[in-house]
């Protein structure tokens, strides 16, 4: 009886893990890295309902099996290959960079399945901030990762020049730990 229960629990855990690993709900900003077709469903067998231009910013609503559900500028929703969509990444131009502000912060890594204070699921490319220092929706370049992140969360311990960087695994969090780093606040 105990063996059957253990096997059942392991199978249930595997199913839950598989669903969690293939279905994410980001609802975050991303940038398209090449000209891209948008389809009515998550595969090339669905019809093309629109397109996205290279460097276009889009809202990613969810992702599944290598496809991202995106919101188009006309408020339609469709699916595009996740391979060509960089979550939390926005290309910056020189005119945007002249307004950036560098700040030293204490950056702590965190992970887990939860909902942020802005109602989104945390994903790689998002950070938790003190909204009095860095407002929600602000783009923040972190040179240590050579990546632009989006501020979309806060936590009880985040006061002043502290941020939490979402990472996908506990090992990544453990490897990063807590570091004092320089970030560049790019604006919205």
The domain tally of the chain equals 2
Is residue 105 located within the same domain as residue 172?
Answer: yes
Is residue 138 located within the same domain as residue 166?
Answer: yes
Which of 58, 87, 116 terminates a domain? The answer is: 87
Structure confidence by residue, pLDDT tens digits, 94-145: 334 445 688 888 999 888 877 777 777 888 888 989 888 889 889 999 998 8
Which of 44, 63, 87 terminates a domain? The answer is: 87
Residue 13 within a domain: no
Is residue 107 located within the same domain as residue 171?
Answer: yes
Is residue 110 located within the same domain as residue 143?
Answer: yes
* Mean pLDDT, all residues of the chain: 77
Cα torsion angle, 78, 80, 86, 91, sign = negative
Residue 135 within a domain: yes
User: Is 58 or 78 the better-scoring residue by pLDDT?
Assistant: 78
Is residue 112 located within the same domain as residue 66?
Answer: no
Structure confidence by residue, pLDDT tens digits, 30-68: 778 888 899 999 888 999 898 888 877 777 777 777 888
Angle (CA) 93 95 125, round 5°? 45
Is residue 68 located within the same domain as residue 106?
Answer: no
Cα(167)–Cα(165) distance, integer angstroms: 6
CA distance readout (Å), 3 to 8, 10, 14, 91 = 8, 10, 16, 53
Is residue 148 located within the same domain as residue 98?
Answer: yes
Q: Is the pTM of the predicted complex or chain greater than 0.85? A: no
Residue 8 within a domain: no
Cα(22)–Cα(25) distance, integer angstroms: 10
């Amino acid at each position: 009886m105990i063996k059957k229960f253990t096997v059942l629990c392991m199978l249930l855990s595997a199913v839950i893990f598989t669903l969690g690993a293939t279905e994410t709900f980001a609802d975050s900003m991303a940038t398209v890295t090449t000209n891209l077709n948008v389809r009515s469903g998550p595969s090339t067998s669905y019809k093309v309902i629109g397109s996205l231009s290279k460097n276009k910013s889009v809202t990613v609503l969810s992702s599944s099996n290598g496809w991202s559900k995106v919101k188009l500028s006309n408020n339609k929703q469709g699916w595009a290959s996740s391979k060509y969509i960089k979550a939390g990444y926005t290309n910056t131009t020189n005119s945007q960079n002249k307004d950036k502000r560098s700040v030293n912060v204490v950056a702590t890594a965190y992970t887990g399945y939860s909902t942020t204070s802005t109602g989104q699921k945390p994903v790689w490319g998002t950070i938790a901030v003190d909204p009095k220092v860095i407002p929600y929706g602000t783009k923040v370049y972190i040179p240590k990762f050579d990546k632009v992140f989006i501020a979309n969360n806060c936590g009880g311990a985040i006061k002043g020049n502290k941020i939490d960087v979402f990472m996908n695994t506990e090992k990544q969090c453990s490897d990063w730990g807590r570091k004092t780093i320089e970030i560049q606040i790019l604006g919205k």
